[in-house]
Amino acid sequence: MNVRKLLSLFAFLATVFALVAVPSPSAQAAPVDDWNYSANTGATYVKALGSTVSSDLTAATAISGGPARTSSNSTAAANVTGLLSVGAAETKTWATKSGGNIEINSWARVAGVNLLNGLIKIDAVESTVTTTGKPDGTSSAVGNHKLLGIKILGVNLPVDIPKNYSVNIPGVAAISLNATFHAGTSELAGTRSWAVAVQLLKPRDGFNAGTVIIASPVNHYLQEAVPAANAPRLGGFAYSSRIQAKVGTQISVVSDPTAYTGTPFNGSNGTTLRNSTATVSLPGIATLGTLTSTSTSSRDSTTGNADITNTNKTVGLNLLGGLIKADAIEVTASAKLVDGKWTQSMKMTTVNLVIAGNAIPVNVSPNTSIDVAGLGKVELNKQGVDAGKKINRIDGLRITLNTAQAGLPVGAVIEFAIAATQMTTA
């Protein structure tokens, strides 16, 4: 494979993931008393040039801290027409730490991977990536992506794909397989890993050259923790949909959060973090169009002031065969901490929301509840505040079934357009 093209692919991946530069591994490491970290794992990622289609991490899990954390997610399927389709996907991201020792882990399993309309097919991908930070300020990473039943049209592949392996489909795409890269010092260290990364070499099916498709993307970051006694710990999230069902004493997650984004504990320094997904299908239950979640936050370690704004916009909602439809539902949850005083606000707007044939006002009142015969309780603009814990949350649309629907039992909860914030002070 052309080395210049491969380097271009890696550079482009850094750009589309909006990753900060990782310091040279040759820089001198310094002892570390404690680490901060940020990590995410996904099933797929698409940056499509020359098209309005873009799909951030699907089946995403993300953690940051601070303390040890775990995040899990499962999704039925993902599809971007002409570029990729995958079946069931699961991811998990977790961190364990003790003082200056930390270990960040990512795991993913993705079934039925089909890229570029069948030019690349994989029966299943299973990924494990671990980044380790030590008290002496050094760090390292180990990654492995099993590509079961992989076939690339016109390319002879080894039975076991070596690490950092690359091939070409001549005149079509540059392909990187089973890749893991790590660099940095205690100031900032990073790991980037993926099972498959594909970059188009020329336009195809309406997508420009340079379009990137990734299966099982993983990003880990480590940074020495600098005490900030006056600054609050930030939190919160936004997502488009989630479905939970309870059978007996067990809660089963039918669909984990889609288009999820979280607020870093130390803020985003005013930068807007974004997760945008082209389409989502929850078979038999709902179809959704473009989903976009954002999180913008900052905190001042000197004054202790902080602010968070989390948003979600869910477009093209069609639930249970049209029983509930909306062109768009948009929610915002905001909070500020100024001179020790916490304030918050929430709002929701809708476009052409119709429930059981009844049009709902654009600015529906907070905590509106409707009982729909043959469906259950429908809550709109559901707002909750816990001033003592500095938490607020808005649910644009929340449905609790009193009748079994589409394989879901009575009591199942279906959520759409969610945003929340949290500030924790000493």
Q: Bigger pLDDT: 151 or 46?
A: 151
Q: How far is CA 408 from CA 205, 281, 285, 402, in A?
A: 38, 16, 9, 10
Residue 1's pLDDT band (boundaries 50, 70, 90)? Answer: very low
- Token digits for 190? 């990073």
Residue 278 — φ and ψ, nearest 5°?
-65, -55
Predicted confidence (pLDDT) at residue 361 exceeds the cutoff of 80? yes
| Residue 267: per-residue pLDDT | 85
Q: Is 179 exposed, middle or buried (0-12, 13-18, 19+ CB in 10 A)?
A: buried
Share of the chain above pLDDT 70, in %: 82
| Residue 18: per-residue pLDDT | 35
pLDDT tens string 223-281: 776 666 677 888 899 999 888 776 554 445 456 788 888 888 778 889 998 888 776 77
pLDDT tens string 183-216: 877 777 889 999 999 999 999 888 888 888 999 9
* Element of type H or E holding 10: helix 3-16
Peptide bond just before 137 cis, omega within 30 deg? no
Q: Bigger pLDDT: 210 or 75?
A: 210
Give the separation between CA 33 and CA 225, rounded to whole angstroms.
8
**How much is the average pLDDT of 382-392?**
95
Residue 30's pLDDT band (boundaries 50, 70, 90)? Answer: low
Predicted confidence (pLDDT) at residue 330 exceeds the cutoff of 90? yes
Task: Tell me the three state secondary structure of residue 76.
Answer: coil
Q: For 216, left (φ over 0), alpha (ψ -120 to 50), or beta?
A: left
Residue 424's pLDDT band (boundaries 50, 70, 90)? Answer: confident
Mean pLDDT of the chain: 84
Give the separation between CA 77 and CA 43, rounded to whole angstroms.
10
| Residue 56: per-residue pLDDT | 67
Which amino acid makes up residue 355? Answer: I
Residue 81's pLDDT band (boundaries 50, 70, 90)? Answer: confident
pTM of the complete model:
0.67
| Residue 273: per-residue pLDDT | 85
- Token digits for 221? 């970051």
**How much is the average pLDDT of 120-129?**
97
Predicted confidence (pLDDT) at residue 11 exceeds the cutoff of 60? no
Q: What is the DSSP string of 171-186?
A: TTEEEEEEEEEEEE-S
Q: What is the largest CA-CA distance in the chain?
A: 67
Give the separation between CA 355 and CA 399, rounded to whole angstroms.
11
Give the separation between CA 149 and CA 360, rounded to whole angstroms.
50
Predicted confidence (pLDDT) at residue 170 exceeds the cutoff of 50? yes
Give the separation between CA 181 and CA 199, rounded to whole angstroms.
18
Residue 335's pLDDT band (boundaries 50, 70, 90)? Answer: very high
Asked whether the beta carbons of 370 and 383 are under 8 A apart, the reply is no
Give the separation between CA 416 and CA 326, rounded to whole angstroms.
11
Tokens 């998990």, residue located: 92
**How much is the average pLDDT of 19-37?**
55
Q: Bigger pLDDT: 363 or 116?
A: 116
